[in-house]
Structure 1
């Protein structure tokens, strides 16, 4: 088994029975979403886990080594990204990250957290990985938050998805002015999942490839409805 990813762990109370595993985007690290998590006012104690992606060369950035959940095998122009991001994918890298996130889920299960109380959250690349992983996980999770992202490897989903994922709530959100992952691309992923009867809630915001205060409040409300003692 691979070693547990290095991560930042933040507990909002004693002996939390709920966990949120939150993945950053390309080139960032686990620190990225700590401030946002600290803003959230939730009704129960939560253990946040912010893993650091491995360092790897990224083709889209000229092979520069940075933290990335998988390689992006497209050119640098946003139009080319829009056309190809779902066609030429680093399936090996995506699946390697899936295994590493499954290890973090298993760690929380060993700590006594029920699967239904484990949430996966991620932004951009991190959001793609949590969608990929959560929809294939063999237990119903508490929920999946996929922010400014898309569904990777969509052609394999029907064969690989677990039936439990049909009832795992999904929160997807995207900026109308996103120049990195176009809004239409994220919306197309959400529409595909909705057509396949996943329990999905979609939000669009007037923002670029980012997170905005309105989105944070919607995340807080969405989580609060699903967290219980």
Structure 2
């Protein structure tokens, strides 16, 4: 497949060794952002990784993109469009397959890094299809079980590694949601799982960045 024909817009930083099939890290930005946001991490991430930052498919007004709709005026408060999120999960899975083929990447070493809404989708992808992913970094997100495949529990998660972190002062996604997700993951048979809290709001502190950077260097 020609890279120009891929189904989602994206930015790419090739791995330092372009002669071999490189491991790949896909970046999934947050609600209202775009592919340039997390791509700013790329210069500081392991050179052996190919970095691909994906733009979410739904444009927001006046700017930015979303992976699925959030209804902020819902009677019970904001809620996720779970059906649309499930459709996006499958679109992402398709795109990842396209990118692995188009850029000659290692299909056995696919990793995800998501922030906020991108983190929620990263969880949905990796827990639904653990056989396709090596690791995920989930920043400032949580697990929405309705976005997982119905049979996700029947699958083997024993080769999947997860790093999750959250701001203790997060006003967007409560720290309790991330803690509940951590408790949930502690009962899943993962290869490894690490959950860290940092004294910040809805963002990634320098300490948090260094922490997951070190973790990635170990698992890639």
What's the TM-score, normalizing by structure 2? 0.85
Question: Is structure 2 residue 43 aligned with structure 1 residue 51?
Answer: no
1:39-81: CA deviation from partner (whole Å, max 9, x where unpaired): 23x2x52211111112346xxxxx87741001113449xxx65
Which 5+ residue runs of structure 1 have no aligned equivalent? 58-62
SS of the equivalent of 2:32 reads coil
Assess, with a 3 A threshold, how the Cα gap between structure 1 residues 68 and 170 changes in structure 2: closer, same or farther.
same
Match of 2:202 among 189, 209, 214: 209
Q: Which runs of 4+ in 1 moved over 4 A?
A: 63-66, 154-158
Specify the alignment match of 2:22 in structure 1. Answer: 17
Specify the alignment match of 1:194 in structure 2. Answer: 186
1:151-186: CA deviation from partner (whole Å, max 9, x where unpaired): 123585562356233420011100000000011111
Specify the alignment match of 2:212 in structure 1. Answer: 219
Judging by fraction of residues, say which structure has more strand. Answer: 2
Specify the alignment match of 1:97 in structure 2. Answer: 88
Specify the alignment match of 1:60 in structure 2. Answer: none
Assess, with a 3 A threshold, how the Cα gap between structure 1 residues 195 and 144 changes in structure 2: closer, same or farther.
same
Judging by fraction of residues, say which structure has more helix. Answer: 1
Post-superposition offset of 1:117: 1.3
How do 1:27-42 and structure 2 match up within 5 A?
27-40=32-45, 42=46
1:100-124: CA deviation from partner (whole Å, max 9, x where unpaired): 2112321244244333311011000
Contact preservation (8 Å) 1:19, 1:47: yes
Assess, with a 3 A threshold, how the Cα gap between structure 1 residues 75 and 190 changes in structure 2: closer, same or farther.
farther
How far apart, CA to CA, are the structure 2 residues paired with 1:158 and 1:167?
20
Contact preservation (8 Å) 2:129, 2:152: no
How far apart, CA to CA, are the structure 1 residues paired with 2:107 and 2:186?
23
Specify the alignment match of 1:117 in structure 2. Answer: 109
Contact preservation (8 Å) 1:138, 1:162: no
User: How many residues are treated as equivalent by the alignment?
Assistant: 212
How far apart, CA to CA, are the structure 2 residues paired with 1:3 and 1:45?
23
Assess, with a 3 A threshold, how the Cα gap between structure 1 residues 21 and 174 changes in structure 2: closer, same or farther.
same
How far apart, CA to CA, are the structure 2 residues paired with 1:144 and 1:215?
15
Assess, with a 3 A threshold, how the Cα gap between structure 1 residues 28 and 162 changes in structure 2: closer, same or farther.
farther
Q: CA RMSD in A?
A: 2.6
Contact preservation (8 Å) 1:147, 1:173: yes
Contact preservation (8 Å) 1:140, 1:167: no
How do 1:50-89 and structure 2 match up within 5 A?
50-56=53-59, 66-75=64-73, 88-89=79-80
SS of the equivalent of 2:165 reads strand
